[in-house]
Structure 1
Amino acid sequence: MNVERALLGAAAAIAALAVVAALAVPGAVAPPEPDRPPAYVEYAEMTVSPSSVAGDTVTLDVTNYLTHEGSPARNVTVRTRAVDTDTGFVATSARASLGTLTGDGEREATLSLTVEREGGYRLETAVYENGSRVAAGHRTVRGVGALVPDYARSPVRFHAFESGAIPSVRVGVAEAGAERTALDVGAYVTNAGGESEPVRVEYVARQVESNLVADRATVEVASVAAGQTVTPNATLDVPAGYNYYVDAILWKDGVLIETTTAAANLDPTRTISVNETREDVGLDVSDFEGGSTGASTTTPTMSGGSPGFGAPVALAALGGAALLARRWSA
């Protein structure tokens, strides 16, 4: 009996010491943590925006949105690649590390991809947890070549008429002669709403069949106010009896902003347009002399040299005749 009592006393003493120790140490006695569900990472969406546009390349900022639930997701990485939609080749790729995701909610990762400024791309994103793919998403962007380079951005543009029937460049006959014709040309230049800035308009007359430049002129436009349209005029002196394309080229700080083209028909046997339609017409340009002249908004600065074809056309004609004679004599 004494032995049993001694054992019971010792057990009671040990139990009492355990209770005292538990009460003395904070947190020693706590309820067990509830079981959390496993980590769950889901791909939500993707947004794409161009951050910078150069002449040959464009940088796309791709923002990937993820949602996380459950236990912590460890070593989470996001990889996005750009696949050329024409060739199927991977153009470039980028990767970002998000570390460990804790707590429920949405996360985002933005990656920058620099690709060529042409065609379209399929942007594919994969999400990895500890090296294993757990989610994916994709989006396709097209018309990358239509993005305007940063250096060429300007609110000033050639005016685009809604109907499309009126060209951005008007061409009239200022003076007609037997050998030379003076063309009065003017382009509609509009500031869509930005700050006023100086620009330069260059006019070039190209003979249709040979593509030779007959004459050119440059007009400096000091300013185009926001929401306003100006028509800087110039005169081009060209040989009579030929058809011409009249190109208008818009420049700003030495950078080509935009071009547009109109047709000038001086050949009475053939009429051309920008899309090359043809028909025979009886046209006498002297009937239109002075019919399209207008007030110049600026003073044109004419290029140097004597315009026209002259010796090049004569040499081409002699060469063609010699070649034809050799073929007949063979």
Structure 2
Amino acid sequence: MNVERALLTAAAALVALAVIAAFAAPGAVAPPEPDRQPSYVEYTEMTVSPAAVAGDTATLEVTNYLTHDGGPARNVTVRTRAVDTDTGFVATSERVSLGTLTSTGEHETTSNLTVERDGGYRLETTVYENGSRVASGHRTVRGVGTLLPDYARSPVRFHEFDGGAIPTVRVGVSDAGEERTTLDVGAYVTNAGGESEPVRVEYVARQAESNLVADRATVDIADVASGRTVTPNATLDVPAGYNYYVDAVLWKDGVIIDTTTAAANLDPTRTISVNQTRASVGLDVGEFEGGTVRTPTTTSTASGGSPGFGVPVALAALGAVGLLARRWSA
């Protein structure tokens, strides 16, 4: 009995000391924390625009919009990823931290996703609060491959007439001889409204059935004023009696920014058009020998030189003609 009484006395003493210590230490006993107001985070919208376009890649600027209401939303992060619509593979992803959201209303965050400049992508966004998913959204973009690279952007282009009633490249004959014909060519080049830029136009005459280059010339344009159209002219000397495609190539700082093609019918027995299927004809390669193809120059007029094809090209074409002749005789 004495032992039990001693144990009870010691326990009572310990309880009394604990109570005294609790009240003696300031703040040792605090009132219970009131319930924290719940937070509400919703995903509302996504906007997408190209930020930068290179030759092989494109950087998409993805802006996500969120709305917050209620109490503070702690440790909010936004993950955006680009999924290839053809393969289903994740091309790239980016995570952005917004920290703690205290103010109610709309919040936005931007991610830059660099993807291959090809096909389409499904852009998926997931919002996390303290590591838990609370909202999500998505959007699909297509035709990424059609985005024009930054290095090829220019307000200067070949002018396209409504309905195609007027050809962009006009071709005339300035001198018609028995063996050679001089073509007078020109293209309509328009600055749609940007700053003035220097460009270069290259004209190439291709024999329609063989694609052999008969002649080429270049014209440098030092200035195309905003909203103005210029028509740089050049001459091409080609063998007579054949039909040709006249290609016009627009260059800026060594980069092709536009192309167009016209047809020149010099064969009285048949005609061609730009979209016409090629047909086999008798080709006298010898008429294309004896000269060098004119190469691009930096002069302001069409470059000079002797027209025609080089001997190696002529020999290759002669072999092709021999194969055609063997087929016809078979």
TM-score between the two structures when normalised by the length of structure 2 = 0.77
Compute the displacement of 1:55 (Å).
1.6
Q: Supply the distance in 2 between the matched residues of 1:48 and 1:323 (Cα, whole angstroms).
A: 54
Show the counterpart of 2:226. 226
Residues 172-214 of structure 1, C-alpha deviations (whole Å, 9 max, x = no match): 1111122111111100001111222221111111122221111
Show the counterpart of 2:301. 300
Show the counterpart of 2:106. 106
Show the counterpart of 2:296. none
Percent identity over paired residues = 77
Q: Supply the distance in 1 between the matched residues of 2:328 and 2:172 (Cα, whole angstroms).
A: 42
Q: Supply the distance in 2 between the matched residues of 1:326 and 1:67 (Cα, whole angstroms).
A: 74
Compute the displacement of 1:324 (Å).
5.9
Cα pair 1:271 1:277 within 8 Å, conserved = no
> SS in structure 1 opposite 2:162?
coil
Cα pair 1:36 1:70 within 8 Å, conserved = no
Q: 1:253 to 1:141 in 2, by over 3 A?
A: same
Can you give the 5+ residue segments of structure 2 that lack an aligned partner in the other structure? 1-22, 280-298
Question: Which piece of structure 1 moves more, 61-70 or 190-199?
Answer: 190-199
Show the counterpart of 1:138. 138
Can you give the 5+ residue segments of structure 1 that lack an aligned partner in the other structure? 1-17, 19-24, 280-297
Q: 1:267 to 1:85 in 2, by over 3 A?
A: farther
Q: Which amino acid aligns with 1:200?
A: R
Cα pair 2:126 2:135 within 8 Å, conserved = yes
Q: Supply the distance in 2 between the matched residues of 1:59 and 1:200 (Cα, whole angstroms).
A: 29
Show the counterpart of 1:14. none
Residues 221-245 of structure 1, C-alpha deviations (whole Å, 9 max, x = no match): 1211111111000001111222211
Compute the displacement of 1:269 (Å).
2.9
Q: 1:234 to 1:150 in 2, by over 3 A?
A: same
Residues 264-309 of structure 1, C-alpha deviations (whole Å, 9 max, x = no match): 1222333222211579xxxxxxxxxxxxxxxxxx9523154x3224
Aligned residues: 284
Residues 86-127 of structure 1, C-alpha deviations (whole Å, 9 max, x = no match): 332222111111112223211111000011222222111111
Q: Supply the distance in 2 between the matched residues of 1:80 and 1:43 (Cα, whole angstroms).
A: 12
Q: Supply the distance in 2 between the matched residues of 1:316 and 1:196 (Cα, whole angstroms).
A: 43
Cα pair 2:209 2:278 within 8 Å, conserved = no
RMSD: 3.0
Superposition pairs for residues 101-180 of structure 1, below 5 Å? 101-180=101-180
> SS in structure 2 opposite 1:197?
coil
Q: Supply the distance in 2 between the matched residues of 1:140 and 1:133 (Cα, whole angstroms).
A: 21
Cα pair 2:208 2:278 within 8 Å, conserved = no
Show the counterpart of 1:7. none
Q: 1:41 to 1:103 in 2, by over 3 A?
A: same
Cα pair 1:270 1:278 within 8 Å, conserved = no
Q: Which amino acid aligns with 1:275?
A: N
Q: 1:318 to 1:158 in 2, by over 3 A?
A: closer
Show the counterpart of 1:266. 266
Q: Supply the distance in 2 between the matched residues of 1:151 and 1:265 (Cα, whole angstroms).
A: 36
> SS in structure 2 opposite 1:301?
coil
Compute the displacement of 1:320 (Å).
4.6
Q: Which amino acid aligns with 1:261?
A: T
Show the counterpart of 1:15. none
Q: Supply the distance in 1 between the matched residues of 2:328 and 2:235 (Cα, whole angstroms).
A: 43
TM-score between the two structures when normalised by the length of structure 1 = 0.77
Q: Which amino acid aligns with 1:234?
A: A
> SS in structure 1 opposite 2:151?
helix
Cα pair 2:42 2:135 within 8 Å, conserved = yes
Q: 1:326 to 1:74 in 2, by over 3 A?
A: closer
Show the counterpart of 2:245. 245
